[in-house]
Amino acid sequence: MRQPTSGAKTPVAINKYLLPREIQVATVRQHPAVLISPSAQALGGLLIAGIVTATLVHGLLATIIWLAWLVLLLRLVWKVINWSVDYFVVTSERLLLTTGFLTRKVNMMPLSKVTDMSFKRTFPGRLLGYGEFIVESAGQDQALRNVEFIPYPEQLYLLICGMLFPSSAPEADDDENRPSDLVDDL
């Protein structure tokens, strides 16, 4: 997880969406596990295309099979490009989810509007280290409802909950109990 930084160290894809007064608390990409399915399909397609064209078919049909595999490979490359520019950002004022390479989409929810937040981890998510955030607000339709494949879900959950529900106890003012310290532990 990216440490809290000034605007100069923030990824360019994110920096242009931050307000001047906002402090970036955490920035993460989706977990690389999001690429497992397209990678497996491309690898499986390569194996099938290689075996079928080496043993059964030749000529035009072999060309069609290899073109189909090329489509799977291009799909994988596209997913990797999109993954590399997608970020989930926690700032001092809001949650942001930026997605898309050619068509940029920025979903945002102010922290003041978040009424409930939970996360779930499937068995593969627990094995690989990712989870899904479910964010709810008083509004009916939220642009930022489910955020999937989030790495470090427990740490991010505690960080965001610490920002949503700051303690009113005197020891919470101590520098040792800042929510952003959770980022330092990662």
Instruction: Write out pLDDT tens, residues 18-56.
Output: 999 999 999 999 999 999 999 999 999 999 999 999 998
Confidence band for 15, pLDDT divided at 50, 70 and 90: confident
Q: Is the pTM of this model over 0.85?
A: no
Arithmetic mean of pLDDT over the chain = 85
Looking at residue 14, its pLDDT comes to 87
Average pLDDT over residues 58-64: 91
pLDDT > 90? residue 11:
no
Pairing assessment for the beta strands 87-91 and 24-28 based on DSSP bridges: antiparallel
pLDDT > 70? residue 183:
no
Q: Which residue has the higher pLDDT, 101 or 172?
A: 101
* pLDDT tens digit sequence for 87-112: 999 999 999 999 999 999 999 999 98
Sheet containing 130-137: order of strands? 114-120, 130-137, 146-151
pLDDT > 50? residue 128:
yes
Indicate if the alpha-carbon torsion angle 151, 154, 155, 158 is positive or negative.
positive
pLDDT > 50? residue 135:
yes
For Cα atoms 39, 3, 13, give the angle at the middle one, nearest 5 degrees: 60
Looking at residue 138, its pLDDT comes to 78
pLDDT > 80? residue 182:
no
pLDDT > 60? residue 115:
yes
Looking at residue 5, its pLDDT comes to 43
